[in-house]
Structure 1
């Protein structure tokens, strides 16, 4: 094979390389698969809208945000602590075991996965449909920052 042909295939090889995947995406995907890989433990997750969320928060329900820290810092429901989806299985002991726990994310997909997992652990978790996007769209107040203080 002439050197030019080998050089061409070598150059093609480098163009075909994929970008490295972020650690956050790998962990989030792995947690999602782990949560969904137990069909025998599948449970139905109740889902509530924003108006019902406001009522339940006023009645004393807890709320937890399962987005990533940068999303949380950009805007979150006031008083909602952050537990990223990838950390939910290892931090399950931090969730209240008594009473209802509302789970929120950006649009409702990640929170549904987290709520399903938490319900298999005996926690009364409820998914907030529409997530933080629906919360903001409804005109409710949002807090910014990481929640850890200055």
Structure 2
């Protein structure tokens, strides 16, 4: 896809699938939806960091890392990516289309709520 909106690179479902499979070069995927949405279905292994917690979490996140933000449709994740970019995170991408376009396996339940930002960097 390689489109940018407001300076944020957009990736489509095919690009996300490739990144998800290539764990060595993969950016850190973060689901920013509400807990109730995450419980209904999320990409296996992707942590939950609700959008309203991003400003506080950003204080502890590594700015040099690469991130892909995920929400239901790509709208909230675009706003969150823009916020991070404005705060010095230069490698932030948005999953355009969001979970509405994800056609692979999903897990249900509260698998991976992010309690400590440092957990993002455990591979």
Q: TM class by shorter-chain length? A: 0.7 to 0.9
Name the counterpart of 2:83.
Answer: 117
102-111 or 84-93: which moved more? 84-93
Which aligned runs of 4 or more in structure 1 are off by greater than 2 angstroms?
A: 93-99
1:117 Cα offset (Å): 0.5
Could you tell me which of 1, 4, 12 is aligned with 1:49? Answer: 12
Greater relative contact order (CA < 8 Å, ≥ 6 in sequence): 2
Q: Secondary structure at the match of 1:88?
A: helix
8 Å contact 2:47–2:112 — kept in the other structure? no
Partner of 1:93: 59
The counterpart of 1:108, out of the listed 61, 74, 77, is: 74
Give the number of the structure whose alpha-carbon radius of gyration is greater. 1
More helix by share: 1
Query: Distance in 2 between the 1:48 and 1:113 partners?
Result: 15
Question: Is there any run of 5+ residues in structure 2 with no aligned partner, and where?
Answer: 1-5, 114-123
TM normalised by structure 1 equals 0.64
Instruction: Give unpaired runs (5+ residues) of structure 1.
Output: 1-42
Deviation of the 1:60 alpha carbon: 2.0
SS at match of 2:109: coil
Greater share of residues in strand: 2
Equivalent in the alignment of 1:32: none
Backbone CA RMSD of aligned residues: 1.7
Task: Compute the displacement of 1:94 (Å).
Answer: 4.5
Q: Structure 2: how far apart are the matches of 1:95 and 1:142?
A: 26
